[in-house]
Structure 1
Amino acid sequence: MTSRKGNRRGTAGRTARILLAVLAAMALVIAGCGTDEDDGTVTMARANWDSGYMQAAIYAQLIGELGYEVSDPADNTRDPNGFYPALASGQFDLWVNGWFPLHDIYLEGERVTGQSVDLPIEPVGFQVRSGALQGYMIDKATADARGITSMSQLADASVARIFDQDGDGLADLIGCNDGWGCQNVIDSHIGELGWGPNVEQISGDYNSLVAGVRDRVASGEPVLFYAWTPNWTYQVLTPGTDVVWLESPALDDEEASTEVQGLRGCASDPCNLGWAVSSIRAVGNEDFLDDNSDIRRLLEVVSIPLSDIAAQNAAMAGADLGYSEAQIKADAADWIEANRDTVDRWLATARG
């Protein structure tokens, strides 16, 4: 497990990393490593968070039912910083793990390449529409004992120190992997919101870090962490019982709604999480989508209930000996067969 602190220099570093990824991806294409969109093959990638693995497998199998040969998304697991530049350059055709508006930054040529150009990237359809949540949580025992309901209370250094695990006086916020969009947003929150000067983000492997969160909750120790749904953490750390959501102000330039009605485990209703309520979407290379209109039509109509995603995520989290790629593909196949009537309508729409 690795960790990283100090997040106030995130913007410059992020831009440099993305630009390097763009150049590397373009070099691969020039060298002949891009996909051939005329040979009936599709090169899919997937995100490096396991809560999206089954969905990637579902889409891959559905595209296969249209008659395409689809690469295994597991062979092309990427973080957003690596995926979007490679998608723009044609190294990949699509993935189905786009989070918007969180990933809007990757659609902007100025932010990705440093040039005012339109990137050939297109979000398509809504796997989950306006149902994906993100925010900050703490253990319920500390929330109840200290009366903490909002991140704004961490503007008081004495409150922030409750969550200091390494003795430097700052609250340790268990955050996101390097290269994830949420890591960038947390960096921005720390840099711009009133509670930020008393908080540092701890980055590393999210699943390993949250295993530590579970241990602290079980032992009654204070802990502050980033969470999202759908994700397995929501199944093993029950909001309102084990942990609670904290409200937070949003960034001044946040345009999307950050309020959630009836959120279990939040002291207020509606609950202002400070994070835009997101949609999970497929994202494709525009040239590929133009050349394969049946795949575009399929991506436009596929949707997967949050409850189904959460149930599969919980199964992965509860597997004592780990969860294999074969099991993930089997889960996808089982989901398709359980929803065969709907899937067949999608495929008929795709075929036109």
Structure 2
Amino acid sequence: MSIVKKVLLVLLCSTMVTISTAWASADKPGEGVTVKPARATWNTGFFQEAIVRQGLEELGYKVKKAKDLTNPIFYKSLALGDLDYWTNGWFPMHNAQLPKNFFDVADTYGYVMKAGGLQGYLVSKREVEKYNIKSLDDFKRPEVKKAFDRNGDGKADLTACPPGWGCESVITHHMDVYDLSDHINPVKASYEAGMASALGSFKAGEPVFFYTWTPNWTVYKLKPGQDVMWINVPKIIPKESQMSAVDRMTQSGIVGAVSDPIKLGFVVSDIRIVANKKFMEKNPAAKKFFEVFTLSLADVSAQNTKMSEGEKSQKDVKRHAAEWIAQNQAQWNKWLDQARDAAK
């Protein structure tokens, strides 16, 4: 082979390596970057963490095992730069748990589920229609109380929250300010057991009345608008801790609500990704992915149901994430392409 041909061959090989390297870099803009995530301690938030992790990995990032942390500890660690992000921010609910000057060093990105953090009271649709139930005030009517009275004490039985839960104090507040203590009996035993009993009663054709939040398996097994309906509180009378978010205690566009808007009596939260600003500035691909990623309440509730039925190991959650991606591949690819474009 002549010297000229050898030189040309070397140049061609070198060019091909350069093109290949550039293509790999564009396809995986996060290559060489290690990411430090955290995860909430409640398992209904594990699903989105697993999906976002896979997205970052497909973008080339090395994602460390998520640390399971309580809210205040996560937000402090994020502000100190010890962690990079989590997918479990509930706002405005978590505002009170943020350290001073938090938004100087961190911020919220995108919407995992806009208005996804609902809380409120649900009643079986059959009884809503039969007794024209619109709000908690309707449980003062004798015929309604009788229909929902399971133990014969003359009060409607409500599947409520166990002692110590944040929702318990709000429900207690409602019983007081709406003068419902003589009409409704909040059952505070194990929530899982209480809801299992309610589900059995519904399947047997009996009335059900319960508190719940979303995302949660309850609204997958008992679907709002089909099986049950969200009902109003009589009027918005916030606790002191709710005063800063009074406008988010009434919500429009809720599927399965008896009215639009509906007065839920609980603060509605957006579920968002929260990340360190320095990490975001250095990683535009991750930033864009966080901004465009979103999930439906129905999909998260369906996955939460699988966990409630026993598929709750880390291996199970990872598989659920992979299955969701496979079922939404076109949208997934679009998000990844948008993230790659942002890094160019």
**TM-score range for the pair, normalised by the shorter chain length:** 0.5 to 0.7
In structure 2, give the amino acid aligned to 1:237: L
- Partner residue, 1:343: 335
- Partner residue, 1:42: 36
Q: How far apart, in 2, do the equivalents of 1:80 and 1:183 lie?
A: 19
Equivalent of 1:63 in 52, 56, 60: 56
Q: How does 1:74-85 map to 2 (within 5 A)?
A: 76=68, 78=69, 80=71, 83-84=74-75
Q: CA deviation at 1:251?
A: 3.4
- Partner residue, 1:224: 209
Q: How far apart, in 2, do the equivalents of 1:122 and 1:286 lie?
A: 7
Partner SS, residue 118 of structure 2: strand
Equivalent of 2:231 in 218, 221, 246: 246
CA contact (8 A) 1:260 1:272 kept: no
Tell me, yes or no, if structure 1 residue 128 matches structure 2 residue 108: no
Q: CA deviation at 1:59?
A: 0.9
State the TM-score, normalizing by the size of structure 1.
0.67
Percent identity between matched residues is 33
CA contact (8 A) 1:161 1:170 kept: yes
Q: Which has the larger radius of gyration?
A: 2
What is the root-mean-square deviation in Å for CA atoms of aligned residues? 3.9
Partner SS, residue 90 of structure 2: strand
In structure 1, give the amino acid aligned to 2:229: V
Tell me, yes or no, if structure 1 residue 194 matches structure 2 residue 186: no
Give a deviation string over 1:216-251, Cα, whole Å, max 9, x none. Answer: 323445442122344322221133453222112333
Q: How far apart, in 1, do the equivalents of 2:134 and 2:173 lie?
A: 21
Structure 1 unmatched runs, 5+: 1-37, 110-116
Q: CA deviation at 1:215?
A: 2.0
Q: How far apart, in 1, do the equivalents of 2:81 and 2:171 lie?
A: 30
Partner SS, residue 290 of structure 2: helix
- Partner residue, 1:259: 251
- Partner residue, 2:323: 334
Q: How far apart, in 2, do the equivalents of 1:72 and 1:79 lie?
A: 16
- Partner residue, 1:284: 275
Q: How far apart, in 2, do the equivalents of 1:68 and 1:229 lie?
A: 31
In structure 2, give the amino acid aligned to 1:48: W
- Aligned pair count reads 300
Q: How far apart, in 1, do the equivalents of 2:74 and 2:195 lie?
A: 24
State the TM-score, normalizing by the size of structure 2.
0.68
Partner SS, residue 152 of structure 1: helix
Partner SS, residue 268 of structure 1: coil
Give a deviation string over 1:168-213, Cα, whole Å, max 9, x none. Answer: 776554345777665564455455x414545565557644432222
1:177–1:280 CA distance, 2 compared to 1 (3 A): farther
Structure 2 unmatched runs, 5+: 1-31
Equivalent of 1:100 in 91, 98, 113: 91
